[in-house]
């Protein structure tokens, strides 16, 4: 059991990510105890503890498992595992991070460390699985390229938005509208994003589409498009301020979105301010 337990933990870590592709559950990992009290009046405490400490518990165990290869002392293993768990709990509770940031990065970490520590076992299991698969479908030995193609399609459907696995329609059709993001100061002058911040317009765009997919769901609790735009604008502003190159020497930062539409050979541009904040 001890030998396969890391793989069981990895499987548990993957379940919320896959489930989130079909039913949005990210907000459960971000909200506080009061929200759980409103959602589940009778079982709010056990459900809160289960969800909020799900990934902290996984990383805590994983840290202890890794450290067991380097030391036989239990107290430093326990201290580091608990510290790792609380770090994940803190990051997971941050607004607009939750399942989106913690789980994906954590699963990558688990896969890499499992591959390094258990590489020989993984190769053995993969070899056994491939041999059995060839017995059930001998044609794979002759048409392995079709197997690779089908595997790519399946992974594109299951994995989150990460290259080269993508489901974005921009790769298969051209829409008649597009959104772009820019930063202006309090006087309306455009500010080069790369001068002050590490994220660029493309990073703002990717976060915008991800948050819009989440916030437009009924369970998100937003009652109007303006409230959704405001929440997304705040998230974009926080992303910029959390990744500053230098402190902006500006009086005000405006996170603006331009919508470019093409109709009957003519295009129009409409610009709106998603969020505006004075710089201290």
Q: Comparing 186 with 22, which gets the higher pLDDT?
A: 186
CB proximity list for 276: less than 8 A, separation 6 or greater: 252, 253, 254, 255
Q: Which two tokens stand for residue 20?
A: 């989130």
Q: Which two tokens stand for residue 86?
A: 């609380």
Instruction: State how far the Cα of 141 lies from the Cα of 63, in Å rounded to an integer.
Output: 39
| CA–CA–CA angle 162, 257, 269 (5° rounding) | 115
pLDDT 10s digits, 39-91: 888 888 998 888 888 888 887 877 777 777 777 777 777 787 777 777 777 76
Average pLDDT over residues 273-279: 87
Each domain of the chain, given as residue ranges in start order, spans 5-136, 177-278
Band of residue 163 on the pLDDT scale cut at 50, 70, 90: low
CB atoms within 10 A of CB 215: 20
For residue 101, pLDDT beyond 70: no
Greatest mean pLDDT among 86-95, 164-173, 262-271: 262-271
| Whether 114 contacts 8, CB under 8 Å | no
Instruction: State how far the Cα of 268 lies from the Cα of 177, in Å rounded to an integer.
Output: 9
| Whether 223 contacts 273, CB under 8 Å | no
Name residue, tokens 């911040």.
197
Instruction: State how far the Cα of 48 lies from the Cα of 42, in Å rounded to an integer.
Output: 12
pLDDT 10s digits, 176-216: 788 888 889 888 888 888 888 888 888 888 888 878 877 77
| Whether 7 contacts 114, CB under 8 Å | yes
* DSSP code of residue 218: G
How does 136-151 read in b/e, with b if 16+ C-beta sit within 10 Å? eeeebeeeeeeeeeee
pLDDT of 162: 64
For residue 169, pLDDT beyond 80: no
Average pLDDT over residues 246-269: 85
Average pLDDT over residues 251-265: 86
């Amino acid at each position: 059991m001890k030998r396969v337990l890391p793989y069981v933990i990895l499987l548990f870590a993957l379940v919320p990510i896959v489930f989130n592709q079909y039913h949005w559950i990210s907000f459960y990992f971000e909200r506080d105890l009061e929200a759980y009290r409103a959602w589940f009046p009778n079982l709010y405490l056990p459900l809160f503890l289960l969800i909020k400490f799900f990934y902290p518990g996984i990383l805590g165990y994983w840290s202890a498992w890794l450290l067991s290869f380097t030391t036989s002392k239990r107290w430093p293993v326990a201290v580091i595992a608990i510290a790792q768990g609380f770090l994940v709990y803190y990051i997971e509770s941050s607004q607009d991070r939750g399942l989106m940031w913690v789980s994906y990065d954590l699963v990558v970490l688990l896969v890499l460390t499992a591959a390094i520590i258990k590489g020989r076992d993984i190769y053995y299991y993969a070899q056994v699985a491939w041999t059995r698969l060839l017995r059930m479908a001998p044609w794979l030995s002759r048409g392995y390229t079709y197997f690779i193609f089908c595997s790519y399609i399946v992974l594109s459907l299951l994995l989150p938005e990460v290259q080269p696995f993508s489901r974005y329609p921009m790769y298969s059709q051209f829409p008649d509208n597009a959104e772009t993001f820019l930063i202006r100061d309090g006087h309306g002058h455009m500010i080069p994003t790369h001068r002050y911040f590490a994220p660029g317009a493309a990073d703002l765009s990717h976060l915008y589409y991800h948050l819009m997919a989440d916030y437009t769901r009924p369970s998100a609790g937003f009652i109007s498009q303006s409230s959704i735009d405001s929440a997304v604008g705040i998230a974009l502003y926080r992303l910029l301020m959390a990744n500053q190159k230098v402190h902006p020497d500006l009086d005000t930062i405006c996170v603006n979105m331009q919508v470019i539409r093409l109709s009957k050979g003519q295009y129009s541009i409409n610009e709106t301010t998603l969020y505006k904040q004075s710089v201290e």
